[in-house]
């Protein structure tokens, strides 16, 4: 209705039941229809074509039980399956690792398979409890984990135990990350104190390197200039269901929600408008913005802002720190969403 204020993200308080968490472990809307043949390798980056071959081979092997030991062991001792192998896509942001991971998930011909971000998987363990999470995930043939990273000692210990138990149970695990397995946690916590756990974790994976420039910005213009507050109000009013939020209020609201809820926070939105964007004040806020940007990108929600440019979202000091790759991925994805907003005619 004319004159009605636009809805706001800060007024949304999504709740996710434990059973809903399990059911939601599928690729997000942006990657619901991707397949290996829709991935277009960069001709100048041979590792990308090689990654497709490796992923296809891995998908074909999911569900195959491997046995340990030679002929003597097979004849005279109990047959114990080897741990299921893991595949780990390592590379910079914007090279299509998530596309490959989702394509792998789609290619596995079993219904018993799960796909989630690292945050979603760790939250599932917290919601269900470790033993129940292992019980449920052990029934899967494949667990695909996007944005794999170790940000603190608790994650390191938890995930090492989880993946050890799952792969021992025959679950194949595929993951994407911006960091090699044996370098996880560097620059974020005293990773050297957890070297045994990190080595145990990295030993479960075969690493496939995916090189190349960020495809989201290959030959494309920079993000549109910020709008004015008046332009945001006018454009949001023309899009039923679009949200308009003050940046500081939105940051405060995100602090009240676990990042695993951010996906539901922005589900089914036609567009998100944010007023008064500026550099985040600290790393905690920065990491929440990273998680929000990822969920907006997963759901292909166009974004437009007023205030400062999206490129100013993280300070130079933050971009030199241990979370540099996460922040750069966030800017890359938000820039792509801002271009989507411009292409949709949000800016006249």
Lowest mean pLDDT across 105-114, 127-136, 182-191 = 182-191
- Taking the C-alpha atoms of residue 123 and residue 193, their distance in angstroms, rounded to an integer, is 24
CA 113 – CA 120 distance, rounded (Å): 15
Residue 303's pLDDT is: 97
User: Which among 168-177, 202-211, 268-277 has the top mean pLDDT?
Assistant: 268-277
Residue 79 has pLDDT above 70, yes or no: no
Average pLDDT of the chain to the nearest whole number: 85
3-state secondary structure of 88: strand
Q: Is the pLDDT of residue 307 over 60?
A: yes
- In a shared domain, residues 78 and 120: yes
Higher local confidence (pLDDT), 310 or 149:
310
User: Which pLDDT band holds residue 76 (cuts at 50, 70, 90)?
Assistant: very low
- pLDDT at residue 166 is higher than 80: yes
DSSP 30: G
> For residue 306, what are the β-bridge partners?
227
Contact 250, 274 (CB under 8 A): yes
The answer to whether position 28 is within a domain reads: no
**Percent of the chain topping pLDDT 90:** 58
Q: How many domains does the chain have?
A: 2
Residue 19 lies in a domain: no
Same domain flag for 296 and 184:
no
Q: Indicate the residue among 144, 176, 209 that finishes a domain.
A: 209
Q: How far apart are CA 326 and CA 323, in angstroms?
A: 5
Q: CA dihedral defined by 108, 113, 116, 121, rounded to 10 degrees?
A: -140
Taking the C-alpha atoms of residue 58 and residue 84, their distance in angstroms, rounded to an integer, is 11
Out of 19-23, 144-148, 259-263, 288-292, which region has the weakest mean confidence (pLDDT)? 19-23
Q: How many residues does the chain have?
A: 348
Q: Mean pLDDT across the stretch 260-268? A: 93
Domain of 129, CATH number, reads 3.40.50.300
**pTM of structure:** 0.81
The model's pLDDT over 22-63, given as tens digits with 9 standing for 90+, comes to: 888 999 999 999 999 999 999 999 999 999 999 999 999 997
Same domain, 61 and 116: yes
Lowest-confidence pick of 43-47, 189-193, 308-312: 189-193
**Residue 331 pLDDT exceeds 90:** yes
Residues 187 and 50 in one domain: yes
The reported pLDDT for the residue numbered 81 is 53
Which domain does 56 fall in, by range? 33-209
Which of 209, 239, 267 delimits the end of a domain?
A: 209
Residue 27 lies in a domain: no
């Amino acid at each position: 209705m004319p004159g009605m204020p636009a809805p706001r993200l800060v007024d949304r308080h999504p709740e996710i039941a434990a059973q809903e968490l399990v059911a939601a472990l599928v690729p997000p809307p942006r990657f619901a229809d991707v397949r290996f043949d829709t991935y277009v390798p960069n001709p100048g980056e041979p590792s990308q074509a090689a990654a497709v071959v490796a992923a296809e081979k891995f998908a074909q092997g999911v569900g195959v039980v491997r046995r340990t030991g030679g002929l003597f062991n097979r004849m005279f001792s109990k047959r114990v399956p080897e741990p299921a192998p893991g595949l780990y896509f390592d590379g910079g942001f914007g090279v299509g690792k998530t596309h490959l991971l989702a394509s792998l998930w789609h290619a596995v011909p079993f219904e018993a398979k799960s796909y989630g971000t690292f945050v979603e998987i760790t939250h599932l363990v917290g919601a269900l409890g470790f033993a129940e999470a292992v019980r449920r995930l052990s029934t899967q043939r494949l667990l695909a984990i996007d944005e794999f990273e170790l940000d603190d000692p608790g994650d390191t210990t938890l995930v090492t135990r989880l993946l050890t138990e799952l792969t021992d149970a025959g679950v194949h695990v595929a993951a994407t990350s911006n960091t090699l397995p044996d370098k996880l946690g560097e620059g974020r916590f005293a990773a050297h104190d957890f070297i045994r756990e990190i080595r145990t974790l990295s030993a479960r994976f075969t690493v496939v390197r995916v090189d190349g420039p960020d495809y989201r910005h290959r030959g494309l213009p920079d993000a549109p200039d910020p709008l004015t507050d008046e332009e945001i109000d006018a454009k949001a009013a023309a899009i039923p269901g679009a949200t308009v939020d003050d940046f500081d209020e939105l940051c405060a609201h995100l602090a009240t929600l676990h990042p695993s809820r951010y996906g539901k926070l922005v589900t089914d939105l036609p567009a998100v408008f944010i007023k008064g964007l500026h550099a985040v004040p600290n790393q905690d806020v920065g990491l929440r913005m990273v998680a929000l940007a990822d969920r907006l990108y997963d759901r292909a929600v166009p974004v437009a802002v007023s205030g400062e440019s999206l490129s100013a979202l993280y300070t130079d000091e933050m971009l030199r720190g241990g979370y540099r790759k996460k922040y750069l991925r966030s800017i890359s994805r938000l820039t792509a969403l801002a271009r989507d907003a411009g292409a949709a005619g949000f800016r006249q």
